[in-house]
Amino acid sequence: MKKDKFIFWDMDGTMANTYEGVKKCLEYALEPYGIHLEGEQEIRKFIGPPFRLSFRKYLGFEENQIEEAIARYRERYIPTGVYECELFEGIRETIQAFQEAGYIQVITSSKPEAQCRQILEKFNLISELDEVVGASHDGKIDTKMQVLREAFRRMEQQYADFSKEKTVLLGDTHYDADGAKEAGIDCIGVSYGFGTAEELLSAGAVAVYDDQKILREALL
């Protein structure tokens, strides 16, 4: 990779292991409906894609139920659940190495932007990254493609030399690879998150790495 590359980071499952917080907040959100998600695999399906999509697809919720469940999820997530997470091993070293190499690093997550910033502040990483782009609470920016489109807009405003050809998305599920393909950029996958190497490659990821050390060696 060249120094003028732009690195777009996914958050959940790529940079941070957010499983515990998401699990507890989903349980809280779904309690009024008498729904209990059985096992880790059931919960993992909800991590990555927008909740509006997941509640509709997996639970058959109507629009009013979706909005109610999301509001209840946020009741617990914003003050508490957002902090129930940990960085994956090697993330801090990778961010610092990319920074030293001159890469522009951007969070591009379907998680609300404010909560992305809360996580980065928890780990003292907010100043290490160049931009944070996430979903909007009003749903206007929600899918990975919409997040990437907003990231492109901001990069074009901030960097005269920005181009999609210089950009790669790091992600852990097929939603990341699908969004990257639709947006016209490459996706490099990581297999330690909430997806699998098989699903990432099937969705068009150009490579998949098992840990951050291998990823750094490949990209630097």
The number of helix segments (H) and strand segments (E) in the chain equals: 10, 8
Looking at the predicted structure, is the pLDDT value of residue 1 above 80? no
List pLDDT tens digits, range 154-175: 999 999 999 999 999 999 999 9
| Global confidence as pTM | 0.93
Give SS3 for 107: strand
List pLDDT tens digits, range 109-151: 999 999 999 999 999 999 999 999 999 988 889 899 999 999 9
Least Cα distance to 46 among 59, 62, 34 occurs for: 59
CATH architecture of 19-83: Orthogonal Bundle (1.10)
CA distances from 123 to 15, 73, 85, 101, 137 (A): 11, 23, 10, 21, 23
Amino acid 49: pLDDT:
84
Looking at the predicted structure, is the pLDDT value of residue 2 above 70? no
CA distances from 168 to 32, 34, 148, 161 (A): 41, 41, 11, 15
List pLDDT tens digits, range 58-104: 999 999 999 999 999 999 999 999 999 999 999 999 999 999 999 99
List pLDDT tens digits, range 13-63: 999 999 999 999 999 999 999 999 988 989 999 998 889 999 999 999 999
Looking at the predicted structure, is the pLDDT value of residue 3 above 50? no
Going from N- to C-terminal start, the domains of the chain cover 6-17+86-219, 19-83
Q: Which two tokens stand for residue 55?
A: 């509640």
pLDDT-derived band at 214 (thresholds 50, 70, 90) equals very high
CATH fold of 6-17+86-219: Rossmann fold (3.40.50)
Amino acid 4: pLDDT:
52
Which residue stretches of 111-143 are H helix? 113-122
